[in-house]
Amino acid sequence: MNLYLLSQNKVGGYDTYDSTVVAAKSPKDARQIHPSEFVTHITDGKWMGTYSGGEKINEEYENEMDSWVKYKDIDCIKVEFLGPTIKKRGVILASFNAG
């Protein structure tokens, strides 16, 4: 795995992520990691979440929130290689602008 710094300036303002550091196999793989823990996977070209409790446990739902780039626009995410890591794939650190 490698560490990558992802940054974007397409979505801004309060309650948005401007950047994140992720562990991924490649720059392409890095772009497919959303900084929010509530986005768990991608289905049909959209960010998705998975309910973790209640009557809908393990059901998926569309999670194209306005806090990060929509999945269809991930090519606008800037990716910078930081170095190798022994961490498993996923978010290491995210920068969130709370409002």
How does pLDDT run across 2-28, given as a tens digit for each residue? 999 999 999 999 999 999 999 999 999
Residue reference for tokens 């998975």: 50
Provide the domain count of the chain: 1
Global model pTM greater than 0.85: yes
pLDDT at res. 65: 86
Model pLDDT, residue 91: 98
Summarised one tens digit per residue, pLDDT across range 35-87 is 999 999 999 999 999 998 889 999 999 998 899 999 999 999 999 999 999 99
pLDDT in the model for residue 90: 98
At residue 74, φ and ψ (nearest 5 deg) are -65, -15
13: domain range? Answer: 2-97
Give the alpha-carbon dihedral of 98, 96, 35, 57, to 10 degrees. -20
